[in-house]
Structure 1
Amino acid sequence: MLSPRPVHVVVLTVFLAAACWPSNAYAGDGTVVCDAKGVCHIIAEDTVTTPGRPGQHAAAENGAGARPKCADSLQGNAEVPCQLDGFGSWVNGRNCYFQPATPQPPAGDPAWEGHDAGDGAVYDAYCPDNPNMTSDYFAQPPDGAAAAVDPQTLAVQAVRDMTLLGPDIGIAPEPGGRGVIGMPVWMWANDTPHAWGPVVESASAGDVTVIATAKVTRVVWSMGDGTQVVCAGRGTAYKAAFGKKDSPDCGYRYALPSAMEPSGKYHVTATSTWTIAWQGGGQTGQLTELRDSAVDLDVAEVQVLNSR
Structure 2
Amino acid sequence: MLTAVLTVLAAGTLVGGLATAAVAAGGVRCDPGKQFCVIEVEQPGNPGQPSQPGDSGTGTRACVVSSTGASVPCSHDQFGWFNDGDDCYWKKLEHQPPGTDVIWGGHFPEGAVYSVACAATHPDGVDGWEWAPTDPPGYGGTTMTPAQLAQQALAQLALTGPAIRMTIEGDEHGLVGLPVWLWTEVGPTTWGPNSATAAVPGLSVTATAQARLIEWDMGDGRTETCKNPGTPYYTGGVTSPTCQHIYEQSSAGQPNEAFPVTATTTWDVTWTGGGASGALTVTRQSAASVRIGEMQVLITQE
Q: TM-score, normalised by structure 1?
A: 0.54
1:298 to 291, 297, 300: 291
Provide the C-alpha distance between the structure 2 equivalents of 1:99 and 1:302, rounded to a whole number of angstroms.
Answer: 65
Structure 2 residue 281 is the aligned partner of structure 1 residue 281: no
Q: Does 1:198 align with 2:148?
A: no
Cα offset, 1:218, TM superposition: 0.8
2:257 to 264, 272, 285: 264
**Alignment partners' CA distance in 2, 1:220 and 1:261:** 22
Residue 181 of structure 1: aligned partner: 176
**Aligned mates of 1:184, 1:176 — CA distance in 2:** 17
Per the TM alignment, residue 145 of structure 1 is displaced from its structure 2 partner at its CA by: 5.7
Deviation at 1:199, TM superposition (A): 2.3
Are the aligned partners of 1:102 and 1:154 in contact in 2 as well (CA < 8 Å)? no
For 2:78, which of 120, 124, 131 is the aligned residue?
131
- Shift of the 179–205 alpha-carbon distance from structure 1 to 2, 3 Å rule, reads same
Paired letter, 1:101: A
Confirm or deny: 8 A CA contact 1:102 1:157 kept in the other structure: no
Preserved contact between residue 269 and residue 292 of structure 1 (Cα < 8 Å): yes
> Percent identity, aligned pairs only?
35
Residue 289 (structure 1) shift: 1.6
Question: 2: distance between equivalents of 1:205 and 1:294?
Answer: 37
In structure 2, C-alpha distance between the alignment counterparts of 1:207 and 1:304, rounded to whole Å: 72
- Number of residue pairs aligned between Structure 1 and Structure 2: 188
How far does residue 109 in structure 1 lie from its aligned partner after superposition? 6.7
Cα-Cα RMSD? 3.1
Q: CA deviation at 1:152?
A: 1.1
After the TM superposition, which residues 119-268 of structure 1 pair with which residues of structure 2 at under 5 Å, given as runs?
124-126=74-76, 130-131=77-78, 148-242=143-237, 245-268=238-261
Q: Which amino acid aligns with 1:254?
A: Y
Deviations 1:216-237 (A, max 9, x none): 1111111110111000011111
How far 1:281 moved relative to its partner?
1.2
Deviations 1:166-211 (A, max 9, x none): 1111111223211000011100111122222222222223412111
Q: Which has the higher contact order (CA 8 A, sep 6+)?
A: 2
User: In the TM superposition, what is the alpha-carbon distance from 1:300 to its structure 2 partner?
Assistant: 0.2
Q: Which amino acid in structure 1 is aligned with residue 75 of structure 2?
A: A
Q: For the Cα contact (< 8 Å) 2:62–2:71, is it kept in 1?
A: no
Q: Deviations over 1:209-260 (max 9, x none)?
A: 1110112111111111011100001111111121xx2111101110000113
Partners of 1:149 and 1:206 within 8 A in 2: no
Q: Which has the larger radius of gyration?
A: 1
- CA distance in 2 between counterparts of 1:282 and 1:133 reads 28
Q: Contact 2:60–2:201 (CA<8 Å) still a contact in 1? A: no
For structure 1, the 5+ residue unaligned runs are 1-84, 86-97, 112-121, 136-143
Residue pairs, 1:27-46, within 5 angstroms: none
More strand by share: 2
For residues 173 and 71 of structure 2, what CA distance do their matches in structure 1 show?
57
Pair 1:288–1:159, CA change in 2 (3 A): same
2:113 is matched with which residue? none
Residue 150 of structure 2 aligns to which amino acid in structure 1?
Answer: A
Q: Distance in 1 between matches of 2:168 and 2:80?
A: 61
TM-score (norm 2): 0.55
Distance 2:164 2:298 in 1: 35
Contact 2:64 2:70 in 1 (8 A): no
Amino acid at match of 2:205: V
Of 41, 46, 61, which residue of structure 2 is paired with 1:100? 61
> Contact 1:224–1:266 (CA<8 Å) still a contact in 2?
yes
* C-alpha distance 171-203 of structure 1, shift in aligned 2 (>3 A): same
- Aligned residue identity for 1:301: E
CA distance in 2, matches of 1:157, 1:256: 45
